[in-house]
Structures are given as C-alpha cells and as structure tokens.
C-alpha cells in the first residue's frame, strides 16, 4: 500500500500556485495505542485552507514541509481504539494523503448514508456553515432581502436556498454570466449580480429595491464595501469569510464602514461553524426537511484524485467551482 | 431682544474652518399655534455636528444657509402650547441661536436641577451614550478588559468610569500626555495610551496583557484597525462614532477586518443614543448611584458665548476638549 501525501513546498506570500505544493511518497503511518489508521475517501476543499497558510487562525499556522490539513471522510482500516471498528466511516482532521493516523477519540463516527459526499455538502460543513451563520447571526424574516456573495460557492448556494425557503427575497453576487445564470436557474435566487461587470452599485440598487436586511459575506474587500451602502437600518452582516482577501498581500478594509455602521445601526459578526456544533442536529433536521420538499438542491463539485488537490484549491480561490468542492481520494466503500 | 444665529456659510469638503460659518442677526422668531418661543441656555457640541454636514445621516443633511442644528437646553419665554408653561426648562432640537421656536409637543420638559449642564453631560446625551452603548452592546463583565478611544472626550470618560464601577480593567486612548494623565488621574482609568506617540500596537500590548474584550470605538480609522488586532475571541466592538473620519475627504477602513472578524468571532455594532430611549430612566438611576458613591465624576468643558460655537466644534474635532463640551449661550435662570 502506497501513501501519497501533498506537502507545502513553500508558503505563498501572494498568489497561490502549484509550485507551493509537492507530492511525496510518505511512509505508511502506523496506528499506536488508542489510534486508528484511516483511508481517506473525500477531502473538503475550502478557502480556509488558504488562510491557514497565512499564519495562526483558529488553528495553528501551516508551515512549509507540513502536509496540508483538511477535513476528510475516511474509512477505518485498523483500529486500536475500543469504540471504533474496522469498516466504520468517520470524519477526521486529516491531511492531503491517502492514509492517515488519528486518535480514536478525535474522530467522529458518521451515519451510514448512500452518498458519503452529502455529509460534506448539504449535511456537512457547507450546509452547516450556511444554516448556522444565516439563522444565528443573520436572523432573516420572511419579506426581508438577503444578499449573498460567492453565491455559486459551497456555502452561498445553501444560504440563498434556506433564505428562499424562509420567504425572503434573495439576491446573489457571483463571478461571470454563466455562474449567475446557474445561481438564478438552479439555485432559485431572485437575481444574481455579476461582480466582474462594471456598475456593481447600480446592479445592487436595481436588484435590492427595498435595501438589504441581511448580507452574508463570503468575500470581504470591495464587494463588502459596496454592499454596506445598501444595508437597511438594523441590518445584519454575517461575516463568514473573505475569500477576496486570503490570496493577496494587499488587503483592503471597507472604507465606508465608519460612515455607515453607526448611522444605520448595523451589526457585523464573525463566526466559525464549530461554534454552533451544539445546534448541528437541529440544522441537519431542517436541511433534510428542505431537501425532502425540493426547496434545497444538493450542489457538489467533486474533483477526482489526490494529485489534483492543489489545483482544486487554486481554482476555488479563483472561483471556478459551483457548489461545495471536494476531492475524491478513493471510491465510497461498497 | 436681538436674535443672533450662526449659519453654515459653505459646506466643508475637507477640514472644517471658521470660514464655513457666519454669524447673522436674524429676526426674532414668532411662536405660532401650538408652538413655544425658547431662549437657548446651553448647546451640546458633538462630533455628530460635523457628520451632519457630510450628507444625510440619521437626520436630514445640513445645507449651506441653514443654521447649525443642535440639542439644547432652553427656557420657555412664550407658550402657545397647553402643556408647556413660561419658565419651564426644556430640551429641544434647536439651532445655534439665541432664540428658537419649536412645536410644543416636540420639546421635553426637564426636571428642575441645580446645575442645568448636568442634564447634558452625566445625565444627558454624553452619559446616556456611554451607558447604553457599553451596557447594551459591549456587555462587559467584571474582570474583562475594556478599551475606550477618545477617552478624554465627552463619552469616553463616562464609558471608562462605568466599566471601572463594574469591575473591569479599563484602558483609554487619548491625544497627548496631558490628556492621558488626566484620564488616568481624574477619570481613574488603569492606563491611558497617547496615540500621537509612535508604537500604538506596542503600547496596546503592554496595557492590555489579557487582550481586549470590549472596545468602545469613538474614532474609527487607524486606531480601530490597531485595536482589532488585540481583541479576544468573542470580543465586542461598540461603534459609537468615528471622529477621525468625519473631518476628512479620505476615509480609511480597518484593512485587517476580514482577517480578524471571522477568526475571532467578533461582533461590531453601531448605535444611536435615541435607540435606547426606553431605557433612559434606568440609565439615569444608575448614573445617579455612581455619582453618589463617587465612582463617576462629572466632566464638562463649557465654552462661553454663542459666537464661540464654531471654534468649540472645530476644537472638539481636533480633540482639545476634556469631558463633555457645551456652549453656554445664556446663564442658568436663577
């Protein structure tokens, strides 16, 4: 059994390129006392991967020579942990590898489902991030307008679909006419604005005639700045990420913030999906309901092969995905 | 009886100067049906005056030719309103004038107190802004660290004194060594940092060894940016104003916002003191308690004479006041 691993060759100082990674043949890891040997099946590719390369965040910084960390769905191949059995499907803090070893008490047994990828998209990190951020910070009410950036991304599509199910007007922002059409036609948004076209402010004014009550921000930077101008009084800005700011050495803040946050009594609040783990069961129950009624479509963008993980991340940062991006390292067990 | 009035001669596009104002002899206004004629005694000078000159805020924009609007304490000279009597002391939306006319139902009767200025400082807009913003948005708890910018300003001193009374470590930011000494010695802050000296970040690190749990922001701009770096997880930023940004044509946003708001799960929220009017009685009761125990000192900075109002505002924007700035137009009635 070989164990391929993708390591950080060099930390990026500006834009991420394939040269920042190297594929190595690593030793097969050995499960010690209380540990399990896991075969990686699916890896979650997230903008957060890039931010971990910028220094300490909510986890320790990733260093040159480290394998890239990732959330993964894995099959248990060996177990020295009493509560975990060979053949179990688990979620784990893994790395970009074929095989990893983890502490038995640090992995989470997953329910047996037909399609494992759903546990990373609609019922996993993407769906949970959308649900918790929107419901706990955004608090949208029927009739309000919800604006979502990176609307074709892993989280954005779920945010908009949940807000539609709640009775809101939903406007997306995405890059390029093809993605915008997909957001409107497939995700059912009322409108989707192409930020690559000139006239973002004019387009926001046209698409949000009653202003914006909740802005779910996945991008930061200039789109955040423009969106703040359209917020209604007592509007809520859900700060989920800032993909436009991770892959640059020249970040920008919303210059209009001081002018609007007081006058409009805005609330801006950041969160991490794990903060709301105590509500995960409620979230999954709600998502299952909306999938059942057809109000939420499951969107996934699966790249095949461990060796393609660097390009999958680089492409994600450039916005080439539609829906939750995953890398498949091995087939679902039959 | 003459009625002097200070009007906006020209709207500023950058820094405010005395040339943006003109003193005129206006006609004595006449109280119509349901109206009252008021003699202005004290006017509140606020950074917000400057922001009203930048366009529509929570009130309509001020235009060239308008008298400058102001909150004022006035004595009723004539009344055509059944509920208001000659001799009553009232709070009113006034202008920079000796006399104004107001609708009887728009003025608020004030209690008879020995020192009318206290109704604008500790028991008025300054004290209420400090109390409501700190208590309702900041929610500080004993043992936490509260950081306050414009600590020698009208609001900042009360914020710090309330937080001290609650058992917090309180750190101020002010301009110049003399003000910083006053904030520490007179206002009782644990430390006060002079932002005009180099090394703000180093000074913040030294003064806030346990990080910052609540940042009460009166200034925006670079001080906000630096302070965000020291916020603890789940920290609260009370957005009360952005005095550094009002008197400029080149506003700056916190460039580090996207990097910190998500990772640290920060909440930033703006407010206007009137939003919490339903809690004013509770606020005044608490402030009276702390004034009684000596935990809150009343700070006022009274400029004499209507004709000095422009300089009083220009000076406020440059930070030359210590405590709540007022302009006295007439003596308290005996």
* pLDDT per position as a tens digit, B9-23: 999 988 999 999 999
Chain B residue whose CA is closest to A271 = B265
Whether chain B has a CB inside 8 Å of the CB on A243: the answer is: no
Domain A3-121+299-328 has CATH 3.40.30.10: no
Asked whether the domain spanning B125-276+284-291 has the same topology as the one spanning B3-121+299-328, the reply is no
Q: Which of residues 273-332 of A touch B (CB under 8 A)?
A: 275
Percent of chain A with pLDDT over 90: 81
CB contacts of B256 in chain A (<8 Å) are 251, 253
CA A285, CA B133: separation in Å to the nearest integer? 37
In this prediction, residue B256 has a pLDDT band, given cuts at 50, 70 and 90, of confident
Tell the residue number behind the tokens 């209420």, with chain if given: B128
Listed in sequence order, the residues at least 6 apart from B92 whose beta carbon sits closer than 8 Å to its beta carbon are B38, B71, B72, B74, B100, B102, B106, B107, B108
Q: Residue B192: what are its φ and ψ, rounded to 5°?
A: -140, 130
Could you tell me whether strands B35-44 and B99-103 are parallel, antiparallel, or unpaired per DSSP bridges?
Answer: antiparallel
Closest residue by Cα to residue B150 from B121, B188, B179, B185? B179
Say if the Cβ atoms of B272 and A266 lie within 8 Å.
no
User: In chain B, which residues have their Cβ closer than 8 Å to the Cβ of A270?
Assistant: 260-267
- Residue matched to tokens 């030793």: A27
What's the N-to-C CA distance of chain A in angstroms? 19
Token pair listed for B76: 């009723």
Q: Which long-range CB contacts under 8 A does A281-287 form with residues at least 24 apart?
A: A283/A127, A283/A128, A283/A131, A283/A132, A283/A135, A284/A123, A284/A127, A284/A128, A286/A131, A286/A162, A287/A122, A287/A123, A287/A127, A287/A131, A287/A158
Whether A245 and chain B come into contact, CB under 8 Å, resolves to yes
Can you tell me the mean pLDDT for B317-327? Answer: 91
Question: Residue by residue, what is the 3-state secondary structure of A119-153?
Answer: HCCCCCHHHHHHHHHHHHHHCCCCCCEEEEECCCC
Question: Token pair 């679902």 is at which residue?
Answer: A332
For the domain covering A125-276+284-291, report its CATH number.
3.40.50.720
Would you kindly state where each structural domain of chain A is located, as residue ranges? 3-121+299-328, 125-276+284-291
Q: Which two tokens stand for residue B162?
A: 């309330």
Q: What percent of chain B has pLDDT over 70?
A: 96
Q: Do the chains contact at A258 and B253, CB–CB below 8 Å?
A: yes
8 Å CB contact of B271 and A251: no
What is residue A254's DSSP assignment?
A: -
Residues of B whose CB is below 8 A from A258: 220-221, 224, 239, 241-242, 244-245, 251, 253
pLDDT at B39 over 90: yes
| In the predicted structure, residue A249 carries a pLDDT above the cut 70 | no
Q: Which residue has the higher pLDDT, A315 or A221?
A: A315
The minimum CA-CA distance between B232 and chain A, rounded to whole Å, is: 12
pLDDT of residue A55: 74
**pLDDT over 80 at A29, yes or no:** yes
Question: Which chain B residues are Cβ-neighbours of A150 within 8 angstroms?
Answer: none
Averaged over A161-176, what is the pLDDT? Answer: 97
Cβ of A262 and B239 within 8 Å? yes
Q: Looking at the partner chain, which of B264, B265, B271 has a beta carbon nearest the beta carbon of A265?
A: B271
Q: Which residues contact A219 (CB under 8 A, 6 or more apart)?
A: A149, A150, A173, A241, A242, A243, A244, A245
CB contacts of A235 in chain B (<8 Å) are: none
pLDDT score of B247: 63
**Confidence band of A247 (pLDDT split at 50, 70, 90):** low
Interchain CB contact of B247 with A (< 8 Å)? no
> Per-residue pLDDT for B250 more than 80?
no
* Residue A241, pLDDT score: 82
């Amino acid at each position: 059994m070989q164990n391929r691993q993708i390591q950080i060759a060099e930390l990026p100082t500006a834009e991420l390129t394939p040269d920042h990674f190297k594929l190595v043949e690593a030793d097969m890891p050995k499960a010690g006392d209380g540990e399990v040997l896991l075969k990686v099946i699916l890896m979650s590719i997230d903008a957060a991967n890039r931010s971990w390369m910028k220094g300490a965040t909510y986890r320790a910084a990733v260093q040159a020579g480290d394998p890239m960390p990732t959330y993964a769905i894995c099959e248990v191949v060996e177990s020295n942990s009493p509560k975990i059995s060979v053949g179990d499907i688990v979620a784990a803090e893994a790395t970009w590898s074929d095989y990893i070893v983890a502490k038995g008490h640090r992995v989470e047994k997953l329910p047996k489902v037909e399609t494992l990828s759903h546990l990373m998209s609609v019922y996993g990190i993407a769906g949970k991030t959308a649900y918790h951020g929107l419901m706990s910070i955004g608090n949208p009410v029927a009739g309000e307008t919800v604006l979502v950036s990176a609307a074709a991304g892993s989280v954005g599509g779920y945010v908009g679909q949940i807000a539609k199910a709640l009775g809101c007007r939903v406007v997306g922002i995405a890059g390029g006419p093809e993605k915008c059409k997909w957001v409107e036609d497939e995700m059912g948004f009322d409108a989707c604005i192409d930020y690559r076209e000139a006239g973002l402010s004019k387009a926001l004014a046209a698409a949000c005639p009653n202003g914006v009550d909740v802005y779910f921000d996945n991008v930061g930077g200039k789109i955040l700045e423009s969106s703040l101008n359209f917020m209604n009084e007592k509007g809520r800005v859900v700060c989920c990420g800032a993909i436009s700011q991770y892959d640059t050495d020249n970040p920008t803040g919303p210059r209009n913030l001081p002018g609007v946050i007081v006058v409009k009594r805005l609330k801006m609040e950041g969160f991490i999906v794990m903060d709301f783990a105590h509500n995960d069961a409620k979230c999954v129950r709600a998502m299952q309901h909306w999938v059942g009624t057809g109000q939420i479509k499951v969107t996934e963008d699966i790249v095949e092969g461990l060796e393609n993980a660097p390009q999958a991340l680089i492409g994600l940062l450039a916005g080439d995905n539609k829906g939750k991006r995953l890398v498949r390292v091995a087939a679902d067990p039959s």
